[in-house]
Structure 1
Amino acid sequence: MKNHLSIINYHSLNCNGRLVDLNSPKIMGILNLTPDSFSDGGKFNNEKSALQQAEKILKDGGEMIDIGPQSTRPNAEFLSSDEEIRRIGNVINEIKKEFPEALVSLDTFYAETVKFGFNEGIDLVNDISGGQFDEKMFDMVAETKLPYILMHVNPSYETMHDKVNFDDITLNVNQYFAKKTNELLQKGIKDIILDPGFGFGKSVEDQMKMINETQFLGFGKYPVLIGISRKSFIYKPLGKSPLDINEETQKLHLQILKQGAKILRVHDVLEAKKTLMEWESGRV
């Protein structure tokens, strides 16, 4: 029995013909195939270590694995789609073969990388650009019929981390979501997940406001994904490192679960799973 603060919206996704019920929130584990990601760069950028990490994500309670061939931290190296595909190699195929129960999400803003990933067996598209960095993205997602994670971000790769002074962050993000979901629906894309874009061009204050107002994001029309794992708006004000804020992060995860968030995108799957189980038990 959930406590009276909990908000329940019923959502499901069609992932390659497999119906995924989001009535119970899911943990999405991050698998970076990059040498330069901000907290785990170079750890999993070969096939063997990537498979081991995928196994750990699933063992620790993750149901989704988000594969990222390109770092999008500030000042990261900009890669072409060809380079992303080269980095991915056989990883998607091997994960689907070894762990058929896993839902594999591909983190890319390129239509060509999505096409490659779809042929390898991905289940979701996670696009930080909202279709703004590659004009072919929405058409490609429509072609694949895969669920699409729509993130709020500034309109270009060059400006994605530029701080913006928003009048009302929740209102601004919702206006963006309304416009973009309309575009997606016109293309026939119905399985949409909303990501408010923590860590991309927003002040600490605005990001804390989004956490406090998670229940209002998207007006409950679509499932919401929250990715606050190891983000600087948490660790910098505390004077800590990205690897030293687990307790604070789990408190925030609990807060957003109470407000109806459906997917937590995280590095520390085991800790997030404990938080999810605590929330589901109704003890908090």
Structure 2
Amino acid sequence: MLKSTKKTLNCRGRLVDLTTPAVMGILNVTPDSFYGGSRLLPLTHSTSAHIDQAVALAERMLTDGATFLDVGGYSTRPGAAEVSAVEEADRVLPVIQAILKSFPDALLSVDTFRASVARQAVDAGAALVNDVAGGTLDEAMFETVAGLRVPYVLMHLRGNPQTMQSLARYDNLVTDVIDELGVRLAALRALGHKDVILDPGFGFAKTPAHTFQLLRQLDAFRVFDEPLLVGISRKTTIWKTLNITADQALNGTTVLNTAALLNGAAIVRVHDVREAAEAVILVDHLKKN
């Protein structure tokens, strides 16, 4: 019998109910993310313009229905350039501070695989840590988040952003991903960490065929008593399958987000918040009626 998946997260003393799935808006503080619509001006262009742009985007996403905002300073697209921990922190910390100054109740996530950046971001006010590496690229990450006592997104990844696509080979995709996530989750649990969100890692050491299979079998991840995050927004699977560009992939994103919601996703991480929030509402009515 499948477990009843956990439905709440403790975010800085605020209990977030995931009975109805939540939307996480993507806010990239990078010059090289794969989708141009999610990028902010680099800090070197104009600090004030950069910060104003971040706050305006945050306001729009919160108004459109985002529960979380995910701030990232290191592009993890395949083949992305290396960015130092200092530069990554310099990108994300001013944005986190500015957004929280304007919207003190906003729940911000920091998208990083580095423990030092995670700690600084939480000190600056971030309420979650979203780690695409699931602790595999920084051995200090698990102890850090366990000490910080903030919800942690544990994503499945093989290799790193530069090598991951060469490692997209599995004996049994769903079983292998579940087994590898299980090992990481057990290590984190051994440190006493409680609030964990699992992410199968769509597009990370996964082919488009893998992505479709994971979506079809998303319910299998209920073997863990943890909420699931699905991040498929405007990714390669959509635009290569449809022979379009990432800029044209909003409709395809909504279709696959709907499939994810029907199959048990508790959080969808997206570039386009309003459309995702509408999908959540409609799928919720479909399930209830």
Q: Percent identity?
A: 39
> Is residue 80 from structure 1 mapped to residue 93 from structure 2 by the alignment?
no
Aligned CA RMSD, in angstroms, stands at 1.7
Contact 1:71–1:77 under 8 Å retained in 2: yes
**Deviation of residue 256 (structure 1)?**
1.3
Contact 1:69–1:87 under 8 Å retained in 2: yes
- Of 238, 241, 248, the residue aligned with 2:245 is 241
Residue 25 of structure 1 aligns with which residue? Answer: 21
**Deviation of residue 8 (structure 1)?**
7.3
What pairs up with 1:269-284 in 2 under 5 angstroms?
269-282=273-286
Describe the SS at the equivalent of 1:181: helix
Gaps spanning 5+ residues in structure 1: where? 1-6
User: Residue type of the partner of 1:74?
Assistant: P
> Is residue 34 from structure 1 mapped to residue 13 from structure 2 by the alignment?
no
Describe the SS at the equivalent of 1:130: coil
Q: Provide the rounded CA distance (Å) in 2 between the counterparts of 1:68 and 1:103.
A: 14
Aligned length: 278
Give the TM-score of the pair, scaled to structure 1. 0.93
**Deviation of residue 157 (structure 1)?**
4.7
Describe the SS at the equivalent of 2:165: coil
C-alpha distance after superposition, 1:235-282 (max 9, x if no partner): 102110112122222121111111111000000111111111111222
**Deviation of residue 146 (structure 1)?**
0.6
**Deviation of residue 163 (structure 1)?**
4.2
**Deviation of residue 89 (structure 1)?**
3.8
> Is residue 165 from structure 1 mapped to residue 169 from structure 2 by the alignment?
yes
Residue 210 of structure 1 aligns with which residue? Answer: 214
What pairs up with 1:1-284 in 2 under 5 angstroms?
9-40=5-36, 42-45=39-42, 46-282=50-286
Q: Whose helix fraction is larger, Structure 1's or Structure 2's?
A: 2
C-alpha distance after superposition, 1:196-252 (max 9, x if no partner): 111112122111000001111242510000000011011102110112122222121
User: Residue type of the partner of 2:90?
Assistant: R
Contact 2:234–2:252 under 8 Å retained in 1: no
4+ residue runs of structure 1 moved beyond 6 angstroms?
none
Moved more, 164-173 or 42-51: 42-51
Contact 2:164–2:205 under 8 Å retained in 1: yes
Q: Provide the rounded CA distance (Å) in 2 between the counterparts of 1:249 and 1:38.
A: 15
Q: Provide the rounded CA distance (Å) in 2 between the counterparts of 1:141 and 1:195.
A: 17
**Deviation of residue 160 (structure 1)?**
2.3
Give the TM-score of the pair, scaled to structure 2. 0.91
C-alpha distance after superposition, 1:31-52 (max 9, x if no partner): 0000111112643542111111
C-alpha distance after superposition, 1:84-106 (max 9, x if no partner): 11112421112122112211000
**Deviation of residue 162 (structure 1)?**
2.1
Q: Provide the rounded CA distance (Å) in 2 between the counterparts of 1:204 and 1:90.
A: 35
Contact 2:227–2:265 under 8 Å retained in 1: yes
Contact 1:153–1:160 under 8 Å retained in 2: yes
Describe the SS at the equivalent of 1:90: helix
Q: Provide the rounded CA distance (Å) in 2 between the counterparts of 1:201 and 1:33.
A: 23
User: Residue type of the partner of 1:91?
Assistant: V
Q: Provide the rounded CA distance (Å) in 1 between the counterparts of 2:212 and 2:228.
A: 16
Q: Provide the rounded CA distance (Å) in 2 between the counterparts of 1:270 and 1:101.
A: 19
**Deviation of residue 121 (structure 1)?**
0.7
Gaps spanning 5+ residues in structure 2: where? 43-49
Moved more, 33-42 or 104-113: 33-42
